[in-house]
């Protein structure tokens, strides 16, 4: 059955994105979440923080996010890596918090290689601009982040089925993340009619997780 990931937590207003309130709301309703990880110099020391844009040091720490998630049953965390060279710090914090229900994605290819070398759970990418997924068969590449930047859907169910049959997890980027809200409900109905909704190993990342739960009936 498909798994729902909220995008930057389950926020009601844009200012709530990547905040404690949004994460607690998401986890309390049983959703995993996607979020953004960057490094920031705080008190003269590098720290990992949750921030989509360049951080200023006021953001919540990555370690604190993990502690909140653990308190809510350790849901899936999709970690969008916004800067290169963070793998050692990421591994250290994940180990310290005892958190293993995560995957890294959106790393550059050189950084993706570093994740593979460190045996960190990582997703490669597919989109209309990236038709060949980097490092697809490398150990540690457990899934595919399947994106769709342009209007319409460039892929069909057989592609998703093949990825799943290859033993990969697949996270679908819902069209609302690219401000195509008019495509959102048709996309959800397609997931049902195609039978993909019932496949194990499939995820959807969206700003509207409750709408996804309602229409997908999960």
d(CA 39, CA 132): 29
Token pair of 28 as six digits = 């309390």
Residue partners of 153: CB distance under 8 A and separation at least 6: 175, 183, 187, 190
Contact at 8 Å (CB) between 173 and 148? yes
CA–CA distances in Å: residue 42 to residues 48, 50, 80, 90, 93? 9, 13, 21, 16, 16
CATH number at residue 22: 3.20.20.190
Give the pLDDT confidence of 38-71 residue by residue, as tens digits. 999 998 999 999 999 999 999 999 999 999 999 9
d(CA 125, CA 123): 7
pLDDT of residue 101: 98
Mean of pLDDT values over 65-92: 97
Mean pLDDT of the chain: 97
Assign 1 a pLDDT band (cuts: 50, 70, 90). Answer: confident
Is 149 a residue whose pLDDT tops 90?
yes
Task: Give the residue from 52, 16, 9 showing the smallest Cα distance to 34.
Answer: 9
Give the pLDDT confidence of 113-132 residue by residue, as tens digits. 999 999 999 999 999 999 99
Mean of pLDDT values over 185-209: 98
Is 157 a residue whose pLDDT tops 90?
yes
Is 28 a residue whose pLDDT tops 90?
yes
Q: How much of the chain exceeds pLDDT 70, in percent?
A: 100
pLDDT of residue 77: 98
Contact at 8 Å (CB) between 138 and 107? no
Residue 105 structural domain: 3-216
- Our count of domains for the chain comes to 1
Assign 135 a pLDDT band (cuts: 50, 70, 90). Answer: very high
DSSP the chain: --EEEEETSS-SSGGGTTSHHHHHHHHHTT-EEEEEEEEEEETTEEEEEE-SS---S-SPBHHHHHHHHHHTT---EEEEE-SSS-HHHHHHHHHHHT--SEEEES--HHHHHHHHHTT--EEEEEBTTB-S-TTTTSTTEEEEEE---SSS-S--HHHHHHHHHTT-EEEEE-GGGGT-GGGHHHHHHHHHHTSGGG-TTEEEEES-HHHHHHHHT-
Is 209 a residue whose pLDDT tops 90?
yes
Mean of pLDDT values over 91-97: 97
């Amino acid at each position: 059955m498909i798994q729902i990931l909220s995008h930057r937590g389950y926020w009601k207003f844009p200012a709530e994105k990547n905040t404690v309130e949004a994460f607690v709301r998401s986890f309390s309703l049983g959703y995993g979440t996607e979020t953004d990880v960057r490094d920031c110099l705080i008190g003269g020391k590098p720290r990992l923080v949750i921030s989509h844009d360049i951080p200023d040091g006021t953001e919540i720490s990555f370690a604190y996010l993990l502690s909140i998630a653990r308190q809510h049953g350790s849901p899936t965390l999709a970690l969008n890596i916004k800067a290169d060279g963070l793998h050692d710090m990421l591994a250290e914090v994940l180990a310290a918090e005892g958190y293993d229900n995560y995957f890294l994605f959106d790393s550059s290819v050189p950084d993706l290689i570093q994740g593979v070398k460190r045996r960190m759970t990582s997703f490669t990418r597919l989109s209309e601009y990236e038709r060949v997924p980097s490092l697809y068969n490398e150990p540690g590449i457990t899934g595919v982040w399947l994106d769709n930047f342009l209007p319409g859907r460039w892929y069909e169910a057989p592609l998703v089925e093949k990825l799943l049959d290859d033993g990969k997890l697949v996270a679908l980027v819902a069209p609302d993340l690219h401000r195509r809200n008019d495509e959102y409900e048709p996309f959800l109905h397609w997931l049902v009619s195609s039978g993909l909704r019932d496949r194990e190993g499939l995820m959807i990342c969206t700003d509207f997780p409750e709408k996804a739960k309602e229409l997908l009936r999960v």
